[in-house]
Chain A
């Protein structure tokens, strides 16, 4: 079974709007990472947040982490059509291999 669940499963927004994706996980983590996957391609790392951090920014990306609720969110501000992709959270639970969530499919309409 998957370690993480993401919601929504799919999200459709207009260009310029913000997109928020949520991830919930089940066990303790060392860090949580977010990845992006374009159709037919491999996953690309976006951002990493450690368990002792609460918020992190990278360009138009903002990630929050609440370890008490075992949840994280990814916010993409001022979305662009090129942001259309699937987004996955990935948990580093200490065993070195990442466990991935179920993913959110984001569609940004131009």
Chain B
């Protein structure tokens, strides 16, 4: 397996524009997580899914953020409209359902909103 695949790797957009980040989890993993990493706040959990169903979205900062998982092999994180403070590295991770198993991370999407 190629691991968790995220696209794009880098995104530069203007304030107010819609941004869509994409993630393909490892095949067979039934948990998918979206994290955001910044210098100031570290790694923050935004939302996670189990079997394509959102379980906890309490970390989503505002209504401008939304995430979907239409099937087991694809998830999107959308920001509309984007703001400069959304600039961060966004990570997707996946794991198996067994308790205590490790999370596998993608390479991240570095988002810059100007």
A43 to B100, CA, bound (A): 17
A2 to B44, CA, bound (A): 8
A50 is contacted by which of B50, B100, B105 (Cβ under 8 Å)?
Answer: B100
Contact B42 A102 (CB under 8 A): yes
Interface majority SS (helix, strand, loop, mixed), chain A: strand
Contact A96 B102 (CB under 8 A): no
Residues of A contacting B41 in the complex (Cβ-Cβ under 8 angstroms): 2
Contact B104 A45 (CB under 8 A): yes
Residues of A contacting B107 in the complex (Cβ-Cβ under 8 angstroms): 41-42
Residues of A contacting B31 in the complex (Cβ-Cβ under 8 angstroms): 96
Interface positions, chain B 26-60, Cβ under 8 Å from A, are 31, 33, 35, 41-43, 45, 48, 50, 55-56
Contact A97 B42 (CB under 8 A): no
Tell me the count of chain A residues lying within 8 A, CB to CB, of chain B.
24
Contact with A along B76-96 (1 / 0, CB 8 A): 000000000000000101000
Contact with B along A67-110 (1 / 0, CB 8 A): 00000000000000000000010101001111111110000000
Q: Which residues of A contact B (CB under 8 A)?
A: 2, 30-31, 33, 35, 41-45, 48, 50, 88, 90, 92, 95-103
